[in-house]
């Protein structure tokens, strides 16, 4: 009886996961195509990086509010309307492009709307998965969720490079809307188990600020959980600078078509990492996976900046991407196993805000740092051309390469420093595991 219940709920999760997977691939197509469109028309790294800024800043700002509502709303409906809103923003961009009226601010605004929708969709999706499966299967669910991101990273760039040539960017946007529609259909086909609301919440009049502060107090009262999110905030800033400048760096020495292939091959590392995450329980302390693979990520950034080499850069991206699903999946598992079910929407959203607040800052400063500081330093006859330039090369893109090396070195240093904090190192001992799915 219990096995049948587990199988039914896993089936529900697989249907939801498949819809989100298809939607992620569509979003990846649009993201790559719009990024290339902006960079080729403006030639500005700053304009390009602003897309990433508007992808993350609204999400970070809306997350606390979204988390409070997610804990009280039906999570399936929350996901449905979030996906619908993101799909409509995509079709709006396609409309402007079709009539030749697309401007940069249209892209930024539509991206911001999609970002706000994601602020509601992500905690609802993550919290719902906790109620669907028993504790011993959470690592598989986490691995599958990360695998969806991995497949999108693997397929989207190379497919977008082909589709932009064959069906144009308008076709890519319409295809993305179709993938959103598929995700909506899968959500209509399933039912989620109802999550319990605490007695205090059920009899108390809903107060948005009180619900947000309750989730905030839960995290801040537990130094291990707060330290974990602050650690991610620091490393996310360093990685954010690298991520937003990866495409401009590649385009400095290869064509967009080759760039798509390189990113797809490198992105396959996420797929391998996700598979490992889904079948390998990992070390007893998940935090050790976080520390170890962040060291690998820092090393990968350094390697990526050393040379204008397609092979070396692809290898670095592969290693970097391999660690991402294990790092993010380990963080998610720690929260899923330690945070009460009726608080998970708020805590997941607030953790997203704390750890993700540095991404917009990174995207905001990355472009100016590249355009006005590091690129001039490594230009022909630039101040560092005769020293560091003799090692990593000079000319277009080499300043970004130097920035990669600096960010990678700081990531490794931050990881070593964070390991010295005992409350973070022993975060999994701080709280008891919560009681999850009972099998009924």
Q: What is the predicted pLDDT for the residue at 153?
A: 65
Say which range, 40-44, 281-285, 426-430, has the weakest mean pLDDT: 281-285
- How many angstroms separate the CA atoms of 226 and 32, rounded? 34
Which residue matches tokens 């005769």? 386
User: 44-93, pLDDT tens digit by residue?
Assistant: 777 877 887 788 788 888 888 888 888 888 888 888 999 899 889 888 88
- Cα within 13 Å of Cα(158), Cβ side: 12
Q: Are 273 and 326 in contact (CB under 8 A)?
A: yes
- How many angstroms separate the CA atoms of 6 and 388, rounded? 58
Has residue 206 got a pLDDT over 70?
Answer: no
Q: Where are the domains of the chain?
A: 2-189+211-430
Q: Which two tokens stand for residue 89?
A: 């923003």
- How many angstroms separate the CA atoms of 246 and 313, rounded? 10
Three-state SS letters, 312-340: HHHHHHHHHHHHHHHHHHHHHHHHHHHCC
| CATH numeric code, 2-189+211-430 | 1.20.1250.20
With the CA atoms of 267, 269, 270 and 273 taken in that order, what torsion angle do they form, in degrees rounded to the nearest 10?
180
Mean pLDDT of 229-249: 92
- How many angstroms separate the CA atoms of 203 and 298, rounded? 49
Q: Which two tokens stand for residue 13?
A: 């999760």
Q: Which two tokens stand for residue 383?
A: 């101040």
Q: Which two tokens stand for residue 431?
A: 């709280």
User: 135-153, pLDDT tens digit by residue?
Assistant: 666 666 676 777 776 677 6
Q: Is the whole-model pTM more than 0.75?
A: no
Give the pLDDT band of residue 10 (cuts 50, 70, 90): confident
- Taking residue 181's Cβ as centre, other Cβ atoms within 10 Å add up to 16
Q: 397: phi > 0 → left, psi -120 to 50 → alpha, else beta; which?
A: left
- Taking residue 436's Cβ as centre, other Cβ atoms within 10 Å add up to 18
* 3-class secondary structure, 90: helix
């Amino acid at each position: 009886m219990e096995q049948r219940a587990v199988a039914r709920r896993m089936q529900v999760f697989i249907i939801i996961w498949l819809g989100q997977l298809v939607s992620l691939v569509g979003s990846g197509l649009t993201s790559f195509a719009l990024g290339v469109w902006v960079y080729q028309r403006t030639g500005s790294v700053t304009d390009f990086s602003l897309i990433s800024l508007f992808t993350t800043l609204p999400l970070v700002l809306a997350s606390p509010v979204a988390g409070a509502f997610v804990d009280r709303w039906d999570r399936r409906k929350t996901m449905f309307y979030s996906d619908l809103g993101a799909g409509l923003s995509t079709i709006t961009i396609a409309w402007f492009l079709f009539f030749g009226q697309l401007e940069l601010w249209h892209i930024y605004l539509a991206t911001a709307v999609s970002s706000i929708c994601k602020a509601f969709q992500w905690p609802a999706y993550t919290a719902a998965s906790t109620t669907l499966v028993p504790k011993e299967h959470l690592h598989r669910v986490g691995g599958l969720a990360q695998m969806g991101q991995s497949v999108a990273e693997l397929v989207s760039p190379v497919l977008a490079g082909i589709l932009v040539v064959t069906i144009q960017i308008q076709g890519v946007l319409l295809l993305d809307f179709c993938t959103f529609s598929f995700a909506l259909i899968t959500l209509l086909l399933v039912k989620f188990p109802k999550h319990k609301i605490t007695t205090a919440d059920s009899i108390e009049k809903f107060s948005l600020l009180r619900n947000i502060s309750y989730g905030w107090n839960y995290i801040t009262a537990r130094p291990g959980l707060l330290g974990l999110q602050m650690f991610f905030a620091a490393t996310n800033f360093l990685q954010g600078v690298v991520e937003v400048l990866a495409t401009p760096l590649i385009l400095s020495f290869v064509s967009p078509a080759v760039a798509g292939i390189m990113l797809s091959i490198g992105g396959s590392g996420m797929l391998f990492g996700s598979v490992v995450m889904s079948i390998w329980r990992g070390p007893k302390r998940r935090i050790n996976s976080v520390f170890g693979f962040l060291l690998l990520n820092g090393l990968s950034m350094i390697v990526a900046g050393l040379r204008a080499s397609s092979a070396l850069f692809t290898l670095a991206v592969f290693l970097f991407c391999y660690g991402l699903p294990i790092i993010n999946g380990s963080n998610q598992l720690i929260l899923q196993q330690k945070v009460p079910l009726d608080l998970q929407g708020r805590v997941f959203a607030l953790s997203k805000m704390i750890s993700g607040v540095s991404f917009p800052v990174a995207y905001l400063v990355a472009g100016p740092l590249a355009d006005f500081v590091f690129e001039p330093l490594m230009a022909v006859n630039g101040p560092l051309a005769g020293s560091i330039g003799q090692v990593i090369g000079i000319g277009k893109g080499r300043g970004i390469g130097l920035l990669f090396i600096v960010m990678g070195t700081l990531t490794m240093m931050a990881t070593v420093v964070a390991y010295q904090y005992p409350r973070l190192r022993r975060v999994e001992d701080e709280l008891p595991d919560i009681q999850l799915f009972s099998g009924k």
